[in-house]
Structure 1
Amino acid sequence: MRKYLHIIVLAAVLVILQAGTALAAQTVHVVKTGDTLWDIANKYGVSVNSLQQNNDLSSDRLQIGMKLIINSTTASRSQTPSRVADSNSIYTVRSGDNLWTIARNFNTTVDQLMSINNLSSDRLTVGDQLYVRAAARTTTTTATPSRAVYPKATPPAPTVKEQPPTTSETNANEAETDLGATICDYGAKFLGTTYRYGGASPSGFDCSGFVGYVFKQHGINLPRTAASIYGVGVPVDKSNLQQGDLVFFKGPGASCINHVGIYTANNQFIHSSSGKVYGVTYSSLDGYYYSQYYAGAKRVINQ
């Protein structure tokens, strides 16, 4: 009888511990002016669908003062690297860090960091531990054939002479590329500047305020909102992006473009984020949110 009693007590303790763990994983967010489900999901690293399910929302409309339950268990990510590593291979995230700067400091790429740490987005939390040296350098070996194989000779195809670009075309393309790089370098000076709704100065930027300020310093005046900026310039295919091109996003439920950034290189862009980083930062176009809500790109340099 005592044996069964012990088993029942132990089972009850386990149930209480599991319930406590589930409750501890819940966070309550109070909706503020300007909040959207996409912004809140972006801030806490969860999906819009999980927010709607956890709070019985039938649409993406929010009211100021509404309390939303954030079930962080649905968005938890492994803090322990997927491989066994020595202590010199672990980097602890500090205030102001982002994946781009960490990748640059350790001579790796954002994609590698996300892959070896099982990250589903580019958002970091102070104190996170990242594995930074899991990607071993691979050496390419050329297979030696067991015997020589000599293909049959075929007559050469007729050579088509391409007309070289004119000097004026070459100079224009070089000037456009140089200005784009200059704009990206200038924007990087404001990394870490806090996000401020309606802000358009170094004391605080929103997304369109940051883009407009950076371009204005280089003689290019842009409209004030992300949606209005999307109405200018020439459309650019994602595969042909150059430094200084503008990239646009449209969050879930939004009726128009509601975010803009400046493309830098290697599928990265710089922008003023209202998400977890909350300020000017680099993000990847391959990140979960930005790849999902990417809406297009425009080129405004030399327009």
Structure 2
Amino acid sequence: MSGDTVTVRPGDTAYSLARAYGLTVDALLALNGLSSPDLRAGQVLRVRDVPPYVAQRGDTLYSLARRFGVSVDSLLALNGLPRDTRLEVGQVLRIPAPGPGAPAPLPVQAQAVPVPPVATTEPLPTPAPAPVVPSAPLTGDWREAALAMLGVPYAYGGSGPGGLDCSGFVVQVFAPLGVQLPRRSADQAQSGAPVALTELQPGDLVFFDTSGRGEVTHVGIYLGDDEFVNANSYKGQVAVDRLMSDPYWAPRLLGARRILPPSTTYAAGH
């Protein structure tokens, strides 16, 4: 077996294999076109990215999906692109694995372009960084601060305009408002007051277990209407995701905390 693939052995899990090869579980699933982390012995998994593809004149998302034997949705998801994306010449795209039963990819000459590795855990606590300067001026509105950072790249340990991880993003949103939070999501889960998931309000922090170990490993900010904003390593950027209705996030949701006074929460959420 090549160094780009691994055969699942009895006892292997998506988490153990992702950790062994320096991936997140999300990245491992995306590389293999899988919607569930459930594995079976003998299954062959890709554990290395194929060389990214550089868009050429005339390429479309549909034509590339057909060429590589993948769905347009998986191509959009792996690259963190909106559905109305129009490709530009020279745009670099990561290519997901074909799903089960997909036709074999058509021959293509892919260009080798370096892709940064995906981190598997958050960094150890560091001193609170200076706030990110968003594209729009702050007016004391946490929502404005958060949405101004949409599209900022995900970066392991990142805490500045060049890149953010999930907990670093939360720190940057609330620091200009005078709300000081710990650096790690597990520690942020001890801040403020606990909130029942049935009583979520915009501005509440929502916490997830993405490792399957029953502990907090990811955090986002609830926006209302079943949406939250977070620094998403799968999409590679700060993005808005569904909460209760999303098949990935809903079963991994551990709880929520309220860190803003009610007046601030309501004012920013409506």
Name the TM-score, length of structure 2 as normaliser.
Answer: 0.54
Q: Residue 79 of structure 1: CA displacement? A: 5.6
Distance 1:278 1:194 in 2: 6
The question of whether the paired residues in 1 share the 8 Å contact of 2:153 and 2:163 is answered with: yes
Q: Residue 296 of structure 1: CA displacement? A: 0.5
The question of whether the paired residues in 2 share the 8 Å contact of 1:183 and 1:244 is answered with: yes
Distance 2:229 2:35 in 1: 22
Superposition map of 1:34-53 within 5 A: 35-41=23-29, 44=33, 46-50=35-39
Are positions 1:254 and 2:243 aligned together?
Answer: no
Alignment match of 1:283 (pick from 216, 241, 256) = 241
Distance 2:40 2:229 in 1: 27
The code of the aligned residue for 1:297 comes to A
Distance 2:42 2:174 in 1: 41
- The CA RMSD measured in Å over matched residues stands at 3.9
CA deviation profile, 1:93-127 (whole Å, cap 9, x unmatched): 6976447xx7xxxxxxxxxxxxxxxxxxxxxx99x
Q: Residue 28 of structure 1: CA displacement? A: 4.8
Identity %: 30
Query: For the structure 1 residues 197 and 69, does the alpha-carbon distance in structure 2 shift closer, same or farther, using more than 3 Å as the test?
Result: closer
Q: For structure 1, which segment, 32-41 or 210-219, has the greater mean C-alpha deviation from structure 2 after superposition? A: 32-41
Determine the structure 2 residue equivalent to 1:300: 259
Distance 1:237 1:296 in 2: 7
Name the TM-score, length of structure 1 as normaliser.
Answer: 0.48
Structure 1: 4+ residue segments shifted above 3 A:
27-34, 42-45, 50-53, 66-70, 76-80, 92-99
Determine the structure 1 residue equivalent to 2:179: 220
Determine the structure 1 residue equivalent to 2:223: 264
DSSP 3-state at the match of 1:228: helix
Determine the structure 1 residue equivalent to 2:99: none
Superposition map of 1:63-102 within 5 A: 67=47, 97-98=81-82
DSSP 3-state at the match of 2:155: coil
Stretches of structure 2 that go unaligned for 5 or more consecutive residues are 7-16, 51-68, 85-94, 97-137, 263-270
The code of the aligned residue for 2:174 comes to F
Alignment match of 2:196 (pick from 237, 240, 252) = 237
The question of whether the paired residues in 2 share the 8 Å contact of 1:273 and 1:279 is answered with: yes
Query: For the structure 1 residues 257 and 183, does the alpha-carbon distance in structure 2 shift closer, same or farther, using more than 3 Å as the test?
Result: same
Q: Residue 232 of structure 1: CA displacement? A: 1.1
Query: For the structure 1 residues 268 and 228, does the alpha-carbon distance in structure 2 shift closer, same or farther, using more than 3 Å as the test?
Result: same
Distance 1:40 1:52 in 2: 16
The question of whether the paired residues in 1 share the 8 Å contact of 2:232 and 2:239 is answered with: yes
The question of whether the paired residues in 2 share the 8 Å contact of 1:55 and 1:68 is answered with: no
Are positions 1:195 and 2:183 aligned together?
Answer: no
The code of the aligned residue for 2:200 comes to L
Distance 1:42 1:96 in 2: 12
DSSP 3-state at the match of 1:298: strand
DSSP 3-state at the match of 1:41: helix
Query: For the structure 1 residues 222 and 28, does the alpha-carbon distance in structure 2 shift closer, same or farther, using more than 3 Å as the test?
Result: same
Q: Residue 281 of structure 1: CA displacement? A: 0.2
The code of the aligned residue for 2:28 comes to I
Distance 1:295 1:184 in 2: 23
Q: How many residues align?
A: 174
DSSP 3-state at the match of 1:217: helix
**Which structure is higher in helix share?**
1
